[in-house]
Structure 1
Amino acid sequence: MLEEALERVRGEPTRLTVAGRTDTGVHARGQVASHAGSPAPARSLNGVLPRDVRVVASDPAPDGFDARRDARTRLYRYRVLARAAASPFEHGRALHWSGPLDRALLERCAALVAGSHDFTAFTPTQTDHVRFERDVVRSEWLKGGPDVLEYWIEADTFMRHMVRILVGTMLGVCAGRMDVDGFAALLTGRPREEAGDTAPPHGLCLEAVRY
């Protein structure tokens, strides 16, 4: 979509490199992209993009800059609306969770995620990944508004579905499907089938990329 807009504005095919790959349905508030050649004006790009996609800034970068390779960390947020009734205002932006939710359990699990671990259990079995260790520098649950909890996680890189499976598994701990010790064991390279469900994509957002 953005490559098509760039081609229309710049008048030539343009291949993008993005800092963070997102699954269909995942939002991206802080995505960063790079391409060869001169940048196109953000206003011109926004004039041909659909209304739900916007370029905030389009500026020259140092020679050789690569949005993906040069990124030091990525920051994601997953929103959970924890109450009996769904909300039209959170529709498509937060997972509606009407089951049991124990914030203390969530925080204990999140604290375990911080650090360097083998996240094999938190990515699909069929994968192109060859390295499953990731260095997580931030992992915490915060209040995100009335009845909303947000899981914030920042790491060097992420694997496919990693954040969504982490969230689904932590919610499973709250539901009694696993205890905290079982969750901790998953961080030692256990197989995918031992972890919990994959949370739906619409609660997840790429918030920032740091260089």
Structure 2
Amino acid sequence: MTSRLLLEYDGTEFGGWARQPGRRTVQEDVERALCTVLHEDAVALTVAGRTDAGVHAWAQVCSYAHEAVDPLSLNALLPPDVAVLDCNPMPDGFDARRDARSRTYCYRVLHRRARSVWLGRRALWHARALDVGALQACAAALVGTHDFTAFTPAGTSHTRLERHVHAARWSRDGDVVEFWITADTFLRHMNRVLVGTMLEVATGRRSPEAFTALLAGRPRAEAGATAPAHGLALASVGYAA
């Protein structure tokens, strides 16, 4: 018996998705609630996308080997910054991570002179001029298969550093500029380093051509800074129809 959970959470107060000693994590909070509802000593969750400390999720997907439960029962036990949106039975063997075909992330930049009370924990505040056209050119260069060595920490545990990007774009809605990217999988910190480097292009500190050259497996030291975690959210996970 296998079930699928759909979650959303504000990552601000979490040390990330995965359990780790001495830190509050999303996995630990949700597994604890599941154990209570299911009257089990342990329930193990498999997650589609392991988010880092401070990263949010609008539609995280998890699977576990037990019956489906009422989301309201779980939400009654969960803290205000994490919520179960849905819970459904799935065919035996469904695996939220292995069966996922794509993940989509969104990074938000608040582009205005004044900071925001409401978006302060969910968007990077950037008060200086931005060349949105340059951002869009960088995003267009990401589509396809590339070596993203420059966009993940040196000494990473990943053995395969190529990723296939299905779609990438920047868009603007009022004061908020958003970077949307869909890929098969992502390297650690990949989206945040991409954003940090593209912002260098958009502020004239790096050329679009220099950004594109990084996609040929250049070393991490040649890319830009890692953008703060609070602007990033896992937006959706794609599965075969």
**TM-score between the two structures when normalised by the length of structure 1:** 0.97
Q: Deviations over 1:48-76 (max 9, x none)?
A: 00011110111101110000000000000
Number of equivalenced pairs: 210
> How far apart are the structure 2 equivalents of 1:21 and 1:29?
13
User: How far apart, CA to CA, are the structure 2 residues paired with 1:2 and 1:40?
Assistant: 12
RMSD (Å) for aligned C-alpha atoms: 0.8
1:37 positional shift: 1.5
SS of residue paired to 1:158: coil
**Does 1:185 find its partner at 2:219?**
no
Corresponding residue number in structure 1 for 2:161: 132
Whether 1:149 and 2:177 are equivalent positions in the alignment is yes
Give unpaired runs (5+ residues) of structure 1: none
Give matches, 1:99-118, under 5 Å.
Answer: 99-118=128-147
Letter in 1 for 2:160: R
Query: Residue 194 in 1 paired to residue 222 in 2?
Result: yes
Paired-residue identity, %: 56
SS state at 2:159 partner: coil
Unaligned runs of at least 5 residues, structure 2: 1-28
Moved over 3 A (4+): none
Shift of residue 142, structure 1, vs aligned partner: 1.0
What is the aligned partner in structure 2 of residue 36 from structure 1? 65
Question: Which structure exhibits the higher relative contact order, with contacts defined as CA atoms closer than 8 Å and separated by 6 or more residues?
Answer: 1
Q: What is the deviation of 1:177?
A: 2.2
> What's the CA shift for 1:126?
2.6
Between the aligned partners of 2:76 and 2:70, the Cα distance in structure 1 is 10
Aligned equivalent of 2:48, options 9, 16, 19: 19
Give me the whole-angstrom Cα distance separating, in 2, the residues matched to 1:3 and 1:127: 28
Kindly provide the CA deviation profile for residues 18-55 of structure 1, in whole angstroms up to 9, marking residues without a partner as x: 00110111110010000012122211100100011110
**Structure 1 residue 8 corresponds to structure 2 residue 36:** yes
Choose between structure 1 and 2: higher strand proportion: 2
Deviation at 1:176, TM superposition (A): 2.3
3-state secondary structure, aligned to 1:127: coil
* Residue number in structure 2 paired with 1:165: 193
The TM-score, its normalising length taken from structure 2, stands at 0.86
